[in-house]
Amino acid sequence: MRLGTGRLSASVVALIVNAVVLSASSALPTLAATQTLRAQPPEGSVDYAVSLEDSGRLKQALAAYDAVLAGQRGDAVVLARRGGVHFKLGDNKAALRDFDRAVELEPRLGPQLWQRGLSLYYAERWDDCITQFVSHRTVNPDDVENAVWHFLCVARKDGIAAARRAILPVGPDRRVPMEKIYELFQGSADEAAVMEQAQTSRVGVLSCQLFYAHLYLGLWDEVNDRPAAALKHLEAAVALDFPHYMGDMARVHVQWLGDADGPQL
């Protein structure tokens, strides 16, 4: 998923998309100083929590966000960040509590939070899930993934035929193989076309292309009641170790499918 900028401040957007934001009040440092600051954010700061999250130390990141929120209980952006960590750790219930509270505190944040849409999907809150992805389209109208997740929510509620009738329009999403993924869900392409486009050799991005192909082919198989085929694709996506929220989503999804004592979705 990609993030539309909407009307939120650049710092809000940066925090949501895993960027470490330096204090706006500090003087402009040299490049070397900036690199040092980013490598060693002060413990107890939001930047420190973000750095832990970005390095995959999720339990430590959760504790760090808890510490920040102990003194900033009304910080919607930090709540949203902590919600994402809860989700990555497999606790979707806690994730949704944070996402919902964040939107309650800062309604302008709502359309940006496609991550909340994923959590709503796993919570089977279909109407809220549909509304979230319709809302996200107002700030990110070109994103194929947003249209696909909207499709999945509608399909779970009303069936695939209804989801195809309601599929959201998208703009030019140039990421390969998003064009064919959209056509698959729309009904004008098949699974082979998705894999063929994903295997187009592009230096440095082939792994990314294959990740998205396997992820969405897996979700397509799943919504069509083909669990074995779905799991095969989703495991292939996880094996690519994609460094993004969607990579964590794939991992959590596979755990959810295969372990009754796994994620609390």
User: What is the amino acid identity at position 72?
Assistant: Q
Say what the pLDDT of residue 259 is: 66
Q: Helix, strand, coil % (nearest 5) of the chain?
A: 65, 0, 35
Phi, psi (5° rounding) for residue 91? -105, 85
pLDDT in tens for each of the 265 residues of the chain? 765 544 444 444 444 443 322 222 223 333 343 344 456 789 989 999 999 999 999 999 999 999 999 988 789 999 999 999 999 999 999 999 999 999 999 999 999 999 999 999 999 999 999 999 999 999 999 999 999 999 999 999 999 999 999 999 999 999 999 999 999 999 999 999 999 999 997 777 999 999 999 999 999 999 999 999 999 999 999 999 999 999 999 999 999 887 654 455 5
Instruction: Could you please state the CATH topology (level 3) that the domain comprising 9-21+31-123 is classified under.
Output: 1.25.40
Alpha helices in 91-242, H assignment, sequence order: 92-105, 114-122, 126-137, 144-158, 160-165, 178-186, 191-198, 206-223, 227-239
For 264, phi and psi rounded to 5 degrees? -85, 75
The CB density around residue 7, as the number of other CB atoms within 10 Å, is 9
pLDDT, residue 23, reads 26
Which pLDDT score is estimated for 211? Answer: 98
Q: What is the pLDDT of residue 41?
A: 87
Residue spans of the domains in the chain: they are: 9-21+31-123, 124-170, 174-265
